């Protein structure tokens, strides 16, 4: 439900449709009547409800593509007016075509202060070899912009949101009962932690998770605080001839090596893959 007042008069039940648009960066409201006539007024002379405002956040117009915004205001559950950083222009978008994620106040919480203090201590006690990495972590932690709905926000506030899992899974790297459960949980939860002693198949499980992400035409970042852990995942992917899907980035050497020798797509034998329906 929505309502539109123009010059203090309620037009809600008199109109057939309405539109919010921009004219020389001024918001305008145009309403249509059953007779076919149109009536236009600047938004400052109108009141549209419901109205929802979000200060600082992320806007997504395409899946997994986000833009930082200074402010957004939604009118009548139909249009969103967006302000981008360092841009005075106002942009009008249909609410159904965008998603707004509000910023998080996590930086003001004690738990984030704890993280920053730990980063400082790592710099203070790091060896000359490890100090550049520790300094980079501290620098990135200071630059990070936090948003509600992210894994970091949920982790720090102890909230693990449920996710719609996949209908079918593949297990090209093999499985047992615990690995099956771990893979399924990774797709049904916002945050999933897989732990176990060495040589129990954690890398194998991660490789199965990655495979299910890729087969569903999604992308994934594989990160670690040490290079061998990431390299182990890459080696397992390479044994299944899936290394052509992996971009080994990070250092300038890795980037140069990846773009100078992009691998060709091999011919696959799918007979070894195990497909399991969702339980």
Residues 6+ apart with CB under 8 A from 49: 2, 3, 76
- Provide the pLDDT for residue 131: 93
Q: Is the pLDDT of residue 63 over 80?
A: no
Residue 184 pLDDT > 70, yes or no? yes
* Cα 33 from Cα 15, distance rounded (Å): 5
Query: Token pair of 193, please?
Result: 């932690």
Cα 214 to Cα 236: distance, rounded to the nearest angstrom? 15
pLDDT at 8: 94
pLDDT over 70 at 269, yes or no: no
- Give the pLDDT of residue 138: 93
Say which residue, 125 or 251, is predicted with more confidence: 125
- pLDDT tens digit sequence for 158-181: 888 888 889 899 998 888 999 999
Q: Inform me whether the pLDDT recorded for 268 exceeds 90.
A: no
The predicted structure's pLDDT at residue 155: 85
Classified as helix, coil or strand, 277 is strand
How confident is the model at residue 103, as a pLDDT?
A: 86
Rounded Cα gap, residues 173 and 170, in angstroms = 9
Q: Are 48 and 2 in contact (CB under 8 A)?
A: yes
Look at residue 182 and tell me whether its pLDDT is greater than 90. Answer: yes
Rounded to an integer, what distance in angstroms lies between the CA atom of residue 61 and that of residue 76?
19
**For the chain, percent of residues with pLDDT exceeding 70:** 94
Q: Any residues with CB less than 8 A from the CB of 61 and at least 6 apart, and which? A: 67, 93, 97, 98
Six token digits for residue 186: 């990774």
Q: Locate all alpha helices (DSSP H) within the chain, ordered by sequence.
A: 110-125, 131-143, 151-157, 177-188, 202-215, 227-239, 252-260
Is a pLDDT exceeding 70 seen at residue 275?
A: no
Residue 274's pLDDT is: 55
Average pLDDT over residues 11-39: 96
State yes or no: pLDDT of 261 exceeds 80.
Answer: no
Q: Select the more confidently predicted residue: 230 or 63.
A: 230
- Report the pLDDT value the prediction gives residue 104, as an integer from 0 to 100: 87
- Summarised one tens digit per residue, pLDDT across range 98-153 is 989 888 888 888 889 999 999 999 999 999 998 998 999 899 988 887 888 888 88
pLDDT band at 207 (very low <50, low <70, confident <90, very high): very high
Q: Does residue 260 have a pLDDT over 90?
A: no
User: Does residue 31 contact residue 11 with C-beta atoms inside 8 Å?
Assistant: yes
Return d(Cα 113, Cα 110) in angstroms, integer.
5
Residues of the chain with pLDDT > 90: what percent? Answer: 49
Average pLDDT rounded to a whole number, residues 252-265: 77
Mean pLDDT of the chain: 88
């Amino acid at each position: 439900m929505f309502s539109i007042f123009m010059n203090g008069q309620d037009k809600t039940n008199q109109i057939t449709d309405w539109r919010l648009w921009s004219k020389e960066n001024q918001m305008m409201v145009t309403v249509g009547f059953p007779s076919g006539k149109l009536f236009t007024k600047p938004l400052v002379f109108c009141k549209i409800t419901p109205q929802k405002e979000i200060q600082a956040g992320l806007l997504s117009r395409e899946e997994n593509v986000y833009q930082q915004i200074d402010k957004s205001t939604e009118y009548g559950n139909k249009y969103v007016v967006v302000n981008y950083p360092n841009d005075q222009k106002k942009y009008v978008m249909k609410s159904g075509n965008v998603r707004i994620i509000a910023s998080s106040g996590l930086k003001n919480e004690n738990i984030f202060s704890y993280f920053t203090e730990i980063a400082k201590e790592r710099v203070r006690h790091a060896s000359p070899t490890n100090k550049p990495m520790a300094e980079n972590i501290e620098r990135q932690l200071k630059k990070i912009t936090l948003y509600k709905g992210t894994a970091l926000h949920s982790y720090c506030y102890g909230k693990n949101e449920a996710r719609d899992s996949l209908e079918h899974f593949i297990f090209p790297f093999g499985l047992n009962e615990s690995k099956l459960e771990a893979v399924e949980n990774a797709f049904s939860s916002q945050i999933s932690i897989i732990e176990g002693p060495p040589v129990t198949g954690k890398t194998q499980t991660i490789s199965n998770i990655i495979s299910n992400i890729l087969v569903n035409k999604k992308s994934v970042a594989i990160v670690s605080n040490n290079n061998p852990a990431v390299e182990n995942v890459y080696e397992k992917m390479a044994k299944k001839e899936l290394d052509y899907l992996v971009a080994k980035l990070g250092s300038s050497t890795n980037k140069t090596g990846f773009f100078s020798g992009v691998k060709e797509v091999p011919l696959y034998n799918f007979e070894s893959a195990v497909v399991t329906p969702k339980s």
